[in-house]
Amino acid sequence: MSDGALDLARVLNPEQIAAVTHGDGPQLVLAGAGSGKTRVITYRIGWLTLERGVDPAAIAAVTFTNKAAAEMRERAENLLRRYPLPTFVGTFHRFCLVLLRRYGERLGLRRDFAILDTDDQVSLIKKALEIEQLAETAFPPRTVLGAISAAKNQLVSHDAYERTATNFFEVRVARVYRRYQRLLGEASGVDFDDMIALAVKLLAEDDEVGERVRRRLRYLLVDEFQDTNHAQLRLVRELVGATGNLTAVGDEDQGIYRWRGADLGNILEFEKSFPGAVVRKLERNYRSTQTILDASGAVVAHNQGRRGKRLWTDAGAGDRLELYRASDEQDEARWIVRTLQGLRGRYPLAQMAVLVRTNAQTRAIEEELLRQEVPYSLVGGVRFYERAEVKDLIAYLRVVRNPRDTLSMLRVLNQPPRGIGRGTQEQLEARAAELGQPLWDVLLHDDLGRFAARAAKALQGFRDLVRGLQEEAAELPLPALLDRLLERTGYAQIYSKTDPEDEARLENIREFLSAAQEFTEREAVAAAEDDTLTAFLDHVALVSDLDSWQAERGVALMTLHSAKGLEFKAVVVAGLEEGLLPHFNSGHKREDLEEERRLLYVGMTRAEERLFLTACRRRRIAGRYQDQEESPFLAEVPQELLVATESPSLFVSDRTRPVYEFFGRQPAAALPEYEVEEAPRGRPAVKRGARVRHATLGQGVVIELEGAGEDLKLTIFFDRAGRRKLLAKYASLEML
């Protein structure tokens, strides 16, 4: 390849050039951490356009986060300059949304369907449980939603789920699944899982649409391929076929989303899905020191589920890793903050991060950062667009856009209070069910005289409010419409300007107005294709918590999952203990344990120059101190790459009860014998469907019983930990 217009030899290494200049057919690019995968994708877009003369409208690039997509789009713009951008650069969900907005009516969708967030989904699950007469205590809504989501990720319809359901839990979830889908339709709603599944259905079953899309799309580039689930793999296959022009970029060592449906087999067995694919490796790292690469590589090398690669860099060896063995979480927090303070002369605070396995670990660290007056940014709190007052305004806009969106209507029917009480709402819902109509049609066409005079007047007022806003929506730009909405509803007046919490809510309302203004200026869509209101609602539905994270706000404090894709000069990975990392949920399964190891690998490879690890001798859990054992992953770090120090007050206990008992693991052979506390005699009989609590696994529902007496085994579906099988006499369960 000659240097040509792009001068690839100046900006890319030989392996990157090979991936960029790949001809036709499928290729898999195994891109190690920090090896420049985004650069490869954007330069491939540039090479196809500038060197091969491919129409940018025939190219699409998809990834998993808006943040990654924005970076990809910006780089492509800088590269192509006077040429138009590819037909699509964005997330899987946004890609599917474009398809469904354009062709969804062929599947029976309204063009103005709403995208439901998690809270909306939970609300519908609760309603489905109520209709099916199933108690939330036995069937926690989020647990049921998780089971339904897992089925949808496998493209299992409610009919198919019902046919294959075998145990107590699944048979009842099947009923809820069917009811939930019916409620989704009544609310003119689509959830995130359905967006992928419906796009697959559209492409696979509608020959005309499938052929039209495939004829237009000649080259597809997919980032983070290790994070794809079965439905997303099917989507890719429907778009390019088995031998089409696909460039998939990913790293099996960074696959950390198995718990939400990602299938590592998609990248490990890529050639089975795309026969004849070329596989290339990017092993040169441009981020970390060789010491960090060697240490993290030695850890992940213990995994069996990987293709294998060895990262290298010419950045030099760098400093050794530091491990601090703390007495407890307060001692750990003090050491972490002291270490960060010591680095302030070398790095800006925004270039330092503390990574944890669970959100609960941040409390002690936050308190110490506040105590030492160290600015920090906590990533992963409540999303801006999920705050109650913001969700209220979004619901109003959704009702204005589509008043048959029953879920949104119920949210704002009496918000702010206008005299429509719970009884009136239930009467309205009952009337809608009786007529088989949405609530809006009842408000429009039914006799409101059947309601009490005060309630009827309030309902009529709400109806007139929505109709008035609909008329104004046709004339006013989005920011002006929001101003009018606040004025006509009096929504902002329900918050006091003297209450600090209310003032924060008012700030959020003002920020929402700013977001609408910025969107209108930046990304307003032509009315012929889609109206600005719909485009804005789609935008807020697809934004994630990391998209708005601002690094300049101080030390980053976040979970390991949230840190993926980021990089910092100095990183602390805190809490390398059994039960935390690896997490107790990983149980005995090799696949789960390997995912925990990959999670640590992701955390370690976020560091550019300095990497610190901590482990506590004891940690307060649920108000009580528990002895902790070091993570077995620490033993996998080459000792010559590690400097270890211990707290002067390192805690030593008599250890009379093992934390391992709760984690479902056996202590290492070198550890002393532990006493096992038997379950109390005379405990109540456990029945299928019973709601129980385990000391560490939390609450769950008993779905199967096997054996009897001393040999009784229980299969329990825990809200957080999923399915677990326990020996009843040792489980120490509390009946709820």
SS3 (DSSP) at 323: strand
CA distances from 264 to 268, 395, 594 (A): 6, 37, 11
Q: Please check whether residues 56 and 158 belong to one and the same domain.
A: no
Are 70 and 76 in contact, with CB atoms under 8 Å apart? no
pTM for the model stands at 0.79
For residue 191, being part of any structural domain is answered with: no
CA distances from 511 to 396, 463, 491, 533, 548 (A): 17, 28, 15, 17, 13
Segment 205-212 shows an average pLDDT of 93
For residue 304, being part of any structural domain is answered with: yes
For residue 397, being part of any structural domain is answered with: yes
Q: Please check whether residues 427 and 529 belong to one and the same domain.
A: yes
**What CATH code is carried by the domain that includes residue 452?**
1.10.486.10
What are the two backbone dihedrals, phi and then psi, of residue 626, each rounded to the nearest 5 degrees?
-130, 140
Q: Quote the domain boundaries for residue 131.
A: 117-186
The neighbouring-strand residues paired with 701 are 691, 717
For residue 153, being part of any structural domain is answered with: yes
Domain endpoint, select from 542, 568, 588? 542
Per-residue burial over 304-325, b if 16 or more Cβ lie within 10 Å, else e, is ebbeebebebebeebebbbbbb
Are 20 and 43 in contact, with CB atoms under 8 Å apart? yes
Q: Please check whether residues 636 and 577 belong to one and the same domain.
A: yes
**DSSP secondary-structure letter at 562?**
H
Q: Please check whether residues 477 and 519 belong to one and the same domain.
A: yes
Are 676 and 699 in contact, with CB atoms under 8 Å apart? no
Q: Please check whether residues 389 and 376 belong to one and the same domain.
A: no
Are 134 and 236 in contact, with CB atoms under 8 Å apart? no
Q: Please check whether residues 585 and 529 belong to one and the same domain.
A: no
With residues binned 3-state (H G I as helix, E B as strand, rest as coil), the percentages for the chain, rounded to 5, are 50, 15, 35
**DSSP secondary-structure letter at 309?**
-
Task: Write down the pLDDT at residue 100.
Answer: 94
Q: Please check whether residues 513 and 395 belong to one and the same domain.
A: yes
Give the pLDDT confidence of 133-180 residue by residue, as tens digits: 999 888 999 999 999 999 999 999 999 999 999 888 999 999 999 999
For residue 658, being part of any structural domain is answered with: no
For residue 663, being part of any structural domain is answered with: no
Are 318 and 289 in contact, with CB atoms under 8 Å apart? yes
- 721 sits in the region (left: phi over 0; alpha: psi -120 to 50; else beta) called alpha
Count of domains forming the chain: 5
Give the pLDDT confidence of 218-232 residue by residue, as tens digits: 999 999 999 999 999
**What CATH code is carried by the domain that includes residue 123?**
1.10.10.160
Which stretches of 369-459 are assigned E, i.e. beta strand? 376-378
Cα gap 505→492, rounded to integer Å: 9
Residue positions annotated with a catalytic role = 37-38, 223-224, 254, 606
Q: Please check whether residues 355 and 223 belong to one and the same domain.
A: no
Domain endpoint, select from 491, 512, 542? 542
Q: Please check whether residues 475 and 347 belong to one and the same domain.
A: no
Place of tokens 């807020």: 540
Comparison of pLDDT for 724 and 341, the residue scoring more:
341
Q: What percent of the chain has pLDDT over 90?
A: 52
Which residue, among 563, 585, 643, has the nearest Cα to 362 in the 3D structure? 563
Q: Please check whether residues 210 and 331 belong to one and the same domain.
A: no
Q: What percent of the chain has pLDDT over 70?
A: 89
Task: Write down the pLDDT at residue 678.
Answer: 36
For residue 604, being part of any structural domain is answered with: yes
Give the pLDDT confidence of 255-308 residue by residue, as tens digits: 999 888 899 999 999 999 999 999 999 999 999 999 999 999 999 999 999 998
SS3 (DSSP) at 217: coil
Give the pLDDT confidence of 26-67 residue by residue, as tens digits: 999 999 999 999 999 999 999 999 999 999 889 999 998 888
Q: Please check whether residues 421 and 538 belong to one and the same domain.
A: yes
Are 219 and 55 in contact, with CB atoms under 8 Å apart? no
Q: Please check whether residues 88 and 122 belong to one and the same domain.
A: no
The neighbouring-strand residues paired with 322 are 612, 643
Give the pLDDT confidence of 630-663 residue by residue, as tens digits: 999 999 999 999 999 998 876 444 333 333 333 3
**What CATH code is carried by the domain that includes residue 345?**
3.40.50.300
- Determine if the peptide bond prior to 582 is cis (ω within 30°): yes
Give the pLDDT confidence of 470-518 residue by residue, as tens digits: 999 888 889 899 999 998 998 888 887 667 677 778 888 888 888 888 7
CA distances from 244 to 64, 237, 263 (A): 21, 9, 21
For residue 141, being part of any structural domain is answered with: yes
Domain endpoint, select from 256, 284, 312? 284
Are 239 and 214 in contact, with CB atoms under 8 Å apart? yes
SS3 (DSSP) at 91: strand
